[in-house]
Chains A and B, each alone.
Chain A
């Protein structure tokens, strides 16, 4: 058991065990989390801390009779501020929604609450989930707890930083092109983007609807399994959620991985991968081989074209998804609009940050007359090629091992003036979103004081296999046990 500070464990599974055996109360655990959030203010991990309600929920969890306790009873969790939640503002990291209070809860919020979770507050994020560094928030950049001159990754920046800093054992993120996996890798966490359709999108503010998926971020696979058990499942309010059996991911963790086939794609290990990352993937491969898995080469020849395709499709969908922010029914409205036109132009110009505007403009361009076929349709065709290559690969292998990011966390401000170099951060994570397959990033090495992650990709609804592989890896190694500052 890992007990870094004040005697409180920092994973859900260990905390649950300690709560069950009466080592401390949820109220005590949550109070400690709130104290750590307060102590870590400079990291700017939270947009809103819901202290009062969290403590009340913790007390309620403590009083709850044993037979009414859900699997997350009394366990503190932070929520990316993209999920609608009543009783607290929901901002999506944008001035547009600076003071917006959602009149309903997202399905995942309902499910976590019903399972007894204590929701601590809303974490900072790149505005409308558009970013790979956590620097695109109206509420300021989030810092990396491992080295606060570096970015935590994005867009689920606050969720990653909050967990890595020990403020909360686990957090929810969303992943449209890598927004769970990349910050997990940068912050030494394990993070899972489930299969598209595995988790309901109802109440999750849309960035790119055909790519967005909610998922958990924590230290290890065991915690992800616990959370995914609660989050997954069809929801009649989301037409794209899939009615597919939800296995008990926790029960499946200890399945043997002996004989599993793991694909290694040369296409994702080319020259643009740094030496440290390459070495980390190689070391991970040897661990899996040692555990009895077979490594086989797989071909994903179109995967690298995912970035350009993604930067057509995601902005195109976003340009429509963000049209509802028009200053009419909710959100920011400019002062004294002179005309309807003025109302639209100024409200949207003032309400959105630079990166959001860039993507809306890119997407509008890609969909406009004369460009649709060359951009949007070509991107959709590439999307099919990439998906079909994955489906073909998964007839040969059970999972694919790849880097999560080309490099460890970069410095704050390093890429803010060059949008394209920022976009290329997502080169290894984007293919999974285009293909709709699950992807898990787990810590697998260090680069100085910064963690490095590797990624496991699986077939549609193959989350169980990814979690089992990650669990086996984590039984064998201690990368997931490293904590910021501990090494220094």
Chain B
């Protein structure tokens, strides 16, 4: 399974993982060997088999429409990297 630097850069960007140049080289090799192993899957005949997302065949339970949560902002923001006036802060986003 061949994978090139451009593909790794694209995936890393989709996943927002910053990669230094030497790291990118290493991940190319790693991903190639992982994907080669994964390709063994293609030896299995799956024609007519439906994909399985959940191992147990049960339905989704529904929650009654009631408010059960109270304001926990202080607790939730206690370990936040940057907050002001109750807002979470990030570098300026340009629309």
Contact = CB atoms under 8 A, between A and B. Distances in A.
Contacts of A331: 81
Contacts of B78: 101, 103
A308 B82 CA distance: 41
Contacts of B82: 333
Contacts of B88: 328-329
B2 interface: no
Contact of B55 (A302, A307, A345, A434): A434
Interface stretch (A3-11, A372-380, A400-408): A372-380
Interface string B16-55: 1111000000010011011111111111101001111111
Contact of A312 (B38, B46, B90): B38
Interface residues of B, number: 52
Q: Which of A195, A308, A337, A338 neighbours the largest number of chain B CB atoms within 10 Å of its CB?
A: A308
A199 interface: no
Contacts of A344: 16, 18
A305 interface: yes
B19 to A, nearest CB: 7
A364 B41 contact: no
B17 A242 contact: no
A381 B46 contact: yes
B71 interface: no
A368 B58 CA distance: 28
Contact of A360 (B7, B17, B49, B50): B17
B31 A239 contact: no
Given A100-B79, A330-B79, A358-B34, A308 B39 contact: yes
A294 interface: no
Given A101-B78, A312-B38, A380-B51, A357 B91 contact: no
A339 interface: yes
A165 B91 CA distance: 48
A308 B41 contact: yes
A197 B12 contact: no
Given A333-B81, A343-B90, A210 B54 contact: yes
Given A240-B54, A333-B82, A385-B46, A358 B18 contact: no
A202 interface: no
A486 to B, nearest CB: 39
Contacts of A149: none
A265 interface: no
A420 B1 CA distance: 14
B80 A329 contact: yes
Contacts of A361: 8, 11-12, 15, 17, 27, 31
B56 A384 contact: no
A339 B37 contact: no
B27 A358 contact: yes
A360 B31 CA distance: 11
Contact of B56 (A319, A349, A460): A460
A385 B49 contact: yes
Interface string B72-83: 100110111110
A365 B34 CA distance: 11
B34 A196 contact: no
A375 B81 contact: no
A307 B38 CA distance: 8
5 contacts: A197-B56, A305-B40, A305-B44, A358-B34, A362-B38
Given A420-B33, A434-B55, 18 more contacts: A196-B54, A197-B58, A210-B53, A307-B40, A308-B40, A327-B81, A333-B81, A340-B92, A343-B91, A345-B18, A357-B17, A361-B31, A362-B34, A382-B44, A384-B52, A423-B37, A424-B37, A460-B56
Interface of A: 99-101, 103, 195-197, 210, 236, 239-240, 242-243, 302, 305, 307-309, 311-312, 319, 323, 326-331, 333, 337-346, 348-349, 352, 357-358, 360-362, 364-366, 368, 374-375, 377-385, 387, 418-420, 423-424, 434-437, 460
Interface of B: 3, 7-8, 11-12, 14-19, 27, 30-31, 33-44, 46, 49-56, 58, 60-61, 63, 72, 75-76, 78-82, 88, 90-93
